[in-house]
Structure 1
Amino acid sequence: MRSEARTNTHGQYLRGGKAMQRITITIDDDLMAALDRMIEIKGYQNRSEALRDLARTGLQQASLEEGQMEACVGVLSYTYDHSARDLSKKLTNTHHDHHNISVASMHVHLDHDRCLEVSILKGKTDDVRHFADHVKAERHVTHGTLAVLPL
């Protein structure tokens, strides 16, 4: 459902009660075609929303790289060999020891030997990264990825 666009008494463009700035950019034909393909594939309603999402993602990444993001939510996903001696117990203890960061987990049995764990982490960005790095560095944790979102 599309919200109606209006202007306020200052001539600012409003959408959903939020002031928006109208800008003009120049993009070469190949980049525009690629952007339009992405818009179609992802189902954006318009180019503006797609560009806003791309800008937010780029700004978030820059904040992460510059260490400016204080608090975050992280999604840590990793696979491991559950038959490795004491690994499951060690991972569980790590989560319990950091209950202030590790707020939820989902466990999936992939096959006879491998498990997938998806953990929701919340806290200071440095603490979340440190926790994730510690888990991913465990012997027999085979793959690990941390996705970080700003709070």
Structure 2
Amino acid sequence: MTVVSVSMPDDLVDRIDEFTEEHGYTGRSELLREASRNLLGEFEDKRLEGRELMGIVTVVFDYEGTAVEERMMQLRHEHEDIVASNFHSHVGDHNCMELFILEGSLEEISTFVGRIRATQDTTTVDYSVTPIDSGDLLE
């Protein structure tokens, strides 16, 4: 098995260690392997391939001292072909929330979500995908 070094903030390592212990993982490596498999498998659902989809993406970030809001605007414009709607709101004392409604293929939505996730200083990124074509909806 190949050994991979990963840099991450101390608070994330602490959260990983706590989660590992609380949920009975043998160590960080086991947890990170499972998380990696889950992330890579998220957009490999064969039932979604070749279908027209709606994606809803919610991003929360601290607006003080970060460039996340500007990055969200860039991504909205770079992917204007699939961004059907976008909503911005202040949440709490120091946070903002961006809501994106997307219409496109699995690959297009996957690419957009990946670019959002790769944006530094986001607090959370959550999404759902639903078919909007005339085929049967997922059960």
TM-score using structure 2 length: 0.58
Secondary structure, counterpart of 1:66 in structure 2: coil
Which of the residues 120, 123, 131 maps onto 1:139?
120
1:83 paired residue number: 64
CA distance in 2, matches of 1:91, 1:103: 14
2:36 paired residue number: none
| Alignment of 1:74 onto 2:55 | yes
CA distance in 2, matches of 1:79, 1:68: 26
Q: Greater relative contact order (Cα 8 A, min sep 6): structure 1 or 2? A: 2
CA distance in 2, matches of 1:145, 1:69: 20
List alignment gaps of at least 5 residues for structure 1: 1-62
CA distance in 2, matches of 1:99, 1:141: 21
Poorly superposed stretches of 4+, deviation over 6 Å: none
| Alignment of 1:115 onto 2:96 | yes
2:81 paired residue number: 100
Shift of 1:86: 2.5
Equivalences, count: 89
Shift of 1:120: 0.1
CA distance in 1, matches of 2:65, 2:101: 24
CA distance in 2, matches of 1:67, 1:84: 41
Structure 1 counterpart of 2:87, which letter?
A: M
TM-score using structure 1 length: 0.54
Q: Choose between structure 1 and 2: higher strand proportion.
A: 1
Same amino acid, percent of matched pairs: 19
Larger Rg: 1
